[in-house]
Amino acid sequence: MKKKQHTQKKARVELEVRRVFKDFVESKKRARALDSVSFSVHEHEFVCIVGPSGCGKSTLLRMIAGLEFPSKGDVLFRGKRVGGPDPKTSAMIFQTFALLPWRNVYENISLGLESIGTPIERRPSIINKYIKLMDLEDFSDAYPFELSGGMKQRVGIARALAVEPRMLLMDEPFSALDALTAENLRRDVLEIWSDPRTPTNTFVMITHLIDEAVFMADRVIVLSRRPGKVIADIHVDVERPRVDHARDPEFFEMCDMIKRMISYHSGGTIPEPDTP
């Protein structure tokens, strides 16, 4: 895999999360979900956000997507406040695939193009490009109920990429898949990220799995338990293509360091061992 451009020249900041707080009202009381979260993501970067369950990861991603808003602080894309969902800025991939059951693969991928008003005659070439990219050629007429979880997620990714957004946002995209399917899809997502033919090359992914984050990301942002605060922003200096923690001591050390950091900030509880 080629070294990304930002390692050679200074890439521009695409996303800036600036002192973001998020409070929810629960049982008539205000409860804080995120506490002064700040970080930025550069063009061509792959950033993973990890943290304990309930620390506000999905809430943070929804704010980046413009689906929710901070109680205080700002989320900026190229210096402009994110004021709502914008398909040209970002697309989201969900853990649960979120496909329309009454539409086949081709029609599901078409959905985003319809929503941004891509002229009907331009849609087939774009849809077919992403069908090919995600190895879905033999399934374009199939309906979601006919597909395995891995294939459904391929459709979800193709649908998100077809709109050609600047950023791809993924909320635990592999967690509903079996280990082998997840492993293959992780590699495919990394291929897409590094492919110069795909205009979407800034990726932000949430995961529970530290090994997964270290396998995929340029940087890992670690959140504390609720209310989520950034406790570390770590540059993953492990050469690509990466193998796994069992075969690479450098990889293992990075995972171990992050696990210990989370454990320390969670009051000393030992986190569950997680292997992608």
Chain contacts with Mg ion (rule: CB under 5 A):
58
Selected from 2, 9, 26, 121, the binder of ligand ATP by CB under 6 A is 26
Omega before 241 within 30 of 0, i.e. cis: yes
Of 58 and 224, CB closest to Mg ion? 58
- Measured CA to CA, the distance from residue 101 to residue 108 in angstroms comes to 9
Q: Nearest to residue 153, comparing CAs of 126, 189, 125?
A: 189
- Measured CA to CA, the distance from residue 31 to residue 17 in angstroms comes to 20
Q: What is the per-residue burial (b if ≥16 Cβ within 10 Å, else e) of 1-22?
A: eeebebeeeebeebbbbeebeb
Q: Is 224 in the site for ligand ATP (CB under 6 A)?
A: no
Selected from 17, 42, 58, 152, the binder of ligand ATP by CB under 6 A is 58
Total residues in contact with ligand ATP, by rule CB under 6 A = 11
Q: Is 225 in the site for ligand ATP (CB under 6 A)?
A: no
- Measured CA to CA, the distance from residue 233 to residue 221 in angstroms comes to 4
Q: Is 57 in the site for ligand ATP (CB under 6 A)?
A: yes
Pairing of strands 29-42, 13-26: antiparallel
Of 24 and 252, CB closest to ligand ATP? 24
Q: Is 49 in the site for ligand ATP (CB under 6 A)?
A: no
Least distance in Å: CB of 53 to ligand ATP? 4
Q: Is 56 in the site for ligand ATP (CB under 6 A)?
A: yes
* Residue 33 binding partner per list Mg ion, ligand ATP, none, with a CB distance cut-off of 5 to 8 Å that depends on partner kind: ligand ATP
Q: Which amino acid is at 113?
A: L
Contacts to ligand ATP from residues 74-133, by CB under 6 A? none
Omega before 227 within 30 of 0, i.e. cis: yes
Name the closest residue to Mg ion (Cβ). 58
* Residue 54 binding partner per list ligand ATP, Mg ion, none, with a CB distance cut-off of 5 to 8 Å that depends on partner kind: ligand ATP
